[in-house]
Amino acid sequence: MPKAKFEVIYKDLKRKIESLEYPSLGLLPSENTMVGIYGCSRNTIRRAIAELAEEGYVQSLHGKGVRIIYQPIDQASFTIGGIESFKESAVRNHKKYYTEVIQFAEITADERVAQRTGFPANSELYYIQRVRYLENKALILDVNMFFKPIVPGLTPEIARDSIYEYIENKLGMSIITSKRKMTVERATEIDEKHLELNDYNCLAVVSGQTYNGDGIMFEYTQSRHRPDYFCFQDTATRKR
Amino acid sequence: MPKAKFEVIYKDLKRKIESLEYPSLGLLPSENTMVGIYGCSRNTIRRAIAELAEEGYVQSLHGKGVRIIYQPIDQASFTIGGIESFKESAVRNHKKYYTEVIQFAEITADERVAQRTGFPANSELYYIQRVRYLENKALILDVNMFFKPIVPGLTPEIARDSIYEYIENKLGMSIITSKRKMTVERATEIDEKHLELNDYNCLAVVSGQTYNGDGIMFEYTQSRHRPDYFCFQDTATRKR
DNA sequence: ATACCATACTTGTTTAAACAAGTCAAGCGT
DNA sequence: ACGCTTGACTTGTTTAAACAAGTATGGTAT
């Protein structure tokens, strides 16, 4: 799949780090060594390393080498990272999953919706509410709005399977950037009605805007997670 | 303070985008145009653009240009992003702040602590609990552990001010990578004792490991936030 | 008018080279 | 034994160039 050289090298290094072939806390081979190993220029090696550093797999040490700081994560809960569909996440986390569509409508964005979602006012939108089941427990309530001119032809059937799959495979549109905000909100009546909240009175809420390959925002999503099955991972780098 | 060319360009572009001098939804000048503007090579321009894309400010469109997708954030709540100290965040969010140190101890990591934090077993650690006040409300409970060999000489006085400031300015150590996990946890008795939780029975919890310029993990932190003053932002890019 | 194609843009990938700057250890002189 | 310099490493920054590939526009032939 990867056509670019740096991606091949990136994936190879990533695999070797995850399999501990390159052990944690050790150093990677030097850039010049890897130039010999992979038969490419130093810049290409550096690009692969930069991506690994971005994900918290390694950290470059000026004058010393590239330290591996990868540590395997515990798979206890539902882990989120990157842009992933519910289906992809479920598969990656080895969970049985199921989706119930509880609302499917077409709406026009009024001023308030436009303000909250980032869509232009009077946009034609699909409005979808879905309940996500993991291991037969109702854990996530998703509210999605899709920009109809960009994502035409949505149906409840597609919503029950995977909308992202439809967008990427059927519409041939690429999904690139996603801006997300994470908050913790008090449970609403709708949450309590559809989710098995036990006695939690809060939810982990991820709100996000997604942009396609043309730089157009086509989706606003709010995912409301039951607290005990929610985990979000992140790697940050400090700016000077 | 930026000494590298690409950082100067990055900051200049960032400023122009934030000030809407380059308006949102528009395109940046082409790379070759900017080569002329900044008097540098195309690679240097591209590096600056890459950083902006990383932060969700722009998105490159193959063959078309670089679209600006920046949108100003609402400053309603306490926003987290990047690696920042409480003090820095408070200042950036224009809040009055105050820290109370409720515990300051030196401990040795047993097996359980080592497992949970990622420190080696039998590490000598500082163990610090602090309550963070914003606008005179007790909102955050911080539990910090610092690796004593790397961060020597900590005192309760430093903990009340800013430990990061001490590390960077007094010890001259650089802080680079931070790996974080965000979860939502049930409030404990300690939370209820020290924070004004109202009737929330959950907290937003950010757990993180921080690495210094030598690639050594020197800090484990758990920040427990009252839900209504918590917001975490993130930008993700989808991998092919 | 329409369909097609050439062309002049745009960004994406890769190479090669040079120099800066940080690290480390061997070896030298005191 | 100690401190210093030197040189051989390491990563960091920047340039220049070439080619690939996607996009848009205008002109041409139909």
* Each residue's pLDDT tens digit, A121-166: 999 999 999 999 988 999 999 999 999 999 999 999 999 988 888 8
Q: What is residue A176's predicted lDDT score, i.e. its pLDDT?
A: 79
A91 touches strand C (CB under 7 A): no
Lookup: tokens for A150: 């960009």
Q: What is residue B81's predicted lDDT score, i.e. its pLDDT?
A: 61
Inter-chain touch A235–B204, beta carbons under 8 Å: no
CA–CA separation, A62 vs A69, rounded Å? 16
Q: Is B74 on the interface with A (CB under 8 A)?
A: no
Q: What is residue A135's predicted lDDT score, i.e. its pLDDT?
A: 87
Q: A19: Cβ–Cβ under 8 A, 6 or more apart, which residues?
A: none
Judge whether residue B75 has pLDDT over 70. Answer: no
**Domain B79-232, CATH homologous superfamily name and number:** Chorismate lyase-like (3.40.1410.10)
* Each residue's pLDDT tens digit, A65-104: 999 999 876 555 566 666 566 777 777 777 888 899 999 9
Instruction: From the CA of A233 to the C1' of D5: give the distance in Å.
Output: 48
Q: What is residue B231's predicted lDDT score, i.e. its pLDDT?
A: 85
Which residues 199-228 of B are in CB contact (within 8 Å) with A? 199-204, 211, 213-215, 217, 225, 227-228
Judge whether residue A18 has pLDDT over 90. Answer: yes
Question: Which of A79-88, B96-105, B169-178 comes out lowest in average pLDDT?
Answer: A79-88
CA–CA separation, A100 vs A160, rounded Å? 6
Q: Is B116 on the interface with A (CB under 8 A)?
A: no
Furthest-apart CA pair in chain A: how many Å?
A: 62
Right CATH for A5-68 from 3.40.50.300, 1.10.10.10, 3.40.390.10, 1.10.3470.10: 1.10.10.10
Chain B residues in contact with A81 (beta carbon < 8 A): 236
Sequence letter at residue A57: Y
Judge whether residue A175 has pLDDT over 80. Answer: no
Q: What is residue B77's predicted lDDT score, i.e. its pLDDT?
A: 56
Q: Is B20 on the interface with A (CB under 8 A)?
A: no
Q: What are the DSSP calls for A144-197, one per residue?
A: EEEETTTS----HHHHHS-HHHIIIIIS---EEEEEEEEEEEE--HHHHHHS--
Q: What is residue A53's predicted lDDT score, i.e. its pLDDT?
A: 95
Question: Which of A215-229, B126-140, B204-218, B225-239 comes out lowest in average pLDDT?
Answer: B225-239
Burial class (CB in 10 A: 0-12, 13-18, 19+), A237: middle
Q: How far is C-alpha A118 from the chain's CA centre?
A: 19
Q: Give kind and range of the element (H or E) at residue A205.
A: strand A202-212
Scanning every strand, the nucleotide with its C1' closest to A60's CA turns out to be D11
Nucleotide D23: closest residue by CA–C1': B63
A40 touches strand C (CB under 7 A): yes
Chain A residues in contact with B228 (beta carbon < 8 A): 184
Burial A34-69 (b: 16+ CB within 10 A, else e): bbeebebeeebbebbbebbbeebbbbbbeeebbbbb
Inter-chain touch B227–A200, beta carbons under 8 Å: no
Q: What is residue A73's predicted lDDT score, i.e. its pLDDT?
A: 66
> What SS3 state is found at A114?
helix
Lookup: tokens for A53: 């550093």
Inter-chain touch B54–A54, beta carbons under 8 Å: yes
B41 touches strand C (CB under 7 A): no
Judge whether residue A1 has pLDDT over 70. Answer: no
Range A173-195 average pLDDT: 90
Q: Give kind and range of the element (H or E) at residue A115.
A: helix A111-117
Instruction: From the CA of B76 to the C1' of C13: give the distance in Å.
Output: 42
Judge whether residue B59 has pLDDT over 80. Answer: yes
CA–CA separation, B129 vs A201, rounded Å? 26
Nearest to A195 by CA among A133, A112, A238: A133
Chain B residues in contact with A77 (beta carbon < 8 A): 183
Distances (CA, A) of B196 to A137, B184, B221, B229: 32, 17, 21, 12
- The backbone torsions φ and ψ at residue B209, rounded to the nearest 5 degrees and listed phi first, read -115, 135
Inter-chain touch A179–B215, beta carbons under 8 Å: no
* Each residue's pLDDT tens digit, A26-63: 999 999 999 999 999 999 999 999 999 999 999 999 99
Q: What is residue B1's predicted lDDT score, i.e. its pLDDT?
A: 65
CA–CA separation, B187 vs B183, rounded Å? 12
Chain A residues in contact with B185 (beta carbon < 8 A): 227
Q: Look at the alpha carbons of B12, B17, B20, B22 in this order and tell me if their dihedral is positive or negative.
A: positive
DSSP state of A88: H
Range B34-59 average pLDDT: 96
Inter-chain touch B59–A233, beta carbons under 8 Å: no
Strand partners, B140: B132, B225
Scanning every strand, the nucleotide with its C1' closest to B6's CA turns out to be D13
Scanning every strand, the nucleotide with its C1' closest to A2's CA turns out to be C13
Instruction: From the CA of B198 to the C1' of C26: give the distance in Å.
Output: 66
Instruction: From the CA of A66 to the C1' of C22: give the distance in Å.
Output: 13
Q: Is A160 on the interface with B (CB under 8 A)?
A: no
Closest residue in B to A84 (Cα) is B238
CA–CA separation, B124 vs B216, rounded Å? 14
Angle among Cα B217, B219, B223 to the nearest 5 degrees reads 140
- The C-alpha of B201 sits at a distance from chain A's nearest C-alpha, in angstroms, of 6
Using H for helix, E for strand and C for coil, what is the string for B103-138?
A: EEEEEECCHHHHHHHCCCCCCEEEEEEEEEEECCEE
Range B213-221 average pLDDT: 91
Q: Is A169 on the interface with B (CB under 8 A)?
A: no
Using H for helix, E for strand and C for coil, what is the string for chain B?
A: CCCCHHHHHHHHHHHHHHCCCCCCCCECCCHHHHHHHHCCCHHHHHHHHHHHHHCCCEEEECCCEEEECCCCCCCCCCEECCCCCHHHHHHHCCCCEEEEEEEEEEEECCHHHHHHHCCCCCCEEEEEEEEEEECCEEEEEEEEEEECCCCCCCCHHHHHCCHHHHHHHHCCCCEEEEEEEEEEEECCHHHHHHCCCCCCCEEEEEEEEEEECCCCEEEEEEEEECHHHCEEEEEEECCC
What residues approach strand D to within 7 A at the CB?
A 28, 30-33, 43, 46, 49, 60-66; B 4-7, 39-44, 47, 61-64
Mean of pLDDT over chain B: 89
Q: Is B177 on the interface with A (CB under 8 A)?
A: yes
The dihedral over CA atoms of B147, B153, B154, B155, expressed in degrees to the nearest 10, equals 150
CA–CA separation, B177 vs B165, rounded Å? 16
Categorize the per-residue pLDDT at B22 as very low, low, confident or very high, splitting at 50, 70 and 90: very high
Query: So where are chain B's domains?
Result: 5-68, 79-232
Scanning every strand, the nucleotide with its C1' closest to B62's CA turns out to be C11
User: Looking up tokens 């052990």, which residue turns up?
Assistant: A23
Q: Is A98 on the interface with B (CB under 8 A)?
A: no
CA–CA separation, B83 vs B78, rounded Å? 14
Range B146-164 average pLDDT: 91
Burial class (CB in 10 A: 0-12, 13-18, 19+), B216: middle
